[in-house]
Amino acid sequence: MHVHKYEKLWLIASLVLIVGFISTIVFGAVGAGVKMVDDSGGQVNASGLSDHPEFKDPGVRKVGSNEYEVYVVAQQFIFNPETIEVPANSNVTFYVTSRDVIHGFEVVGTNANTMAVPGEVSKITVQFDEPGEHGIVCNEYCGGAHHDMEGKLIVREPSNFTMGDQSSAQMTNQETNGTDEA
* Residue 136 found at the interface with Cu ion (CB under 5 A): no
For 17, other C-beta atoms within 10 Å of its C-beta total 10
Site string for Cu ion, 96-135 (x = CB under 5 A): ----------------------------------------
Can you say whether the dihedral through the CA atoms of 165, 167, 173, 178 is positive or negative? Answer: negative
Site string for Cu ion, 13-42 (x = CB under 5 A): ------------------------------
Separation of CA 157 from chain center: 20
The order of strands in the sheet holding 113-116 is 83-87, 150-156, 132-137, 103-107, 113-116
* Closer CB to Cu ion, 62 or 103, in the complex: 103
* Residue 149 found at the interface with Cu ion (CB under 5 A): yes
Residue 7 · residue 14 · CB < 8 Å: no
* Residue 146 found at the interface with Cu ion (CB under 5 A): yes
Minimal distance, residue 139 CB to Cu ion, in Å? 7
Residues that bind Cu ion (CB under 5 A): 138, 142, 146, 149
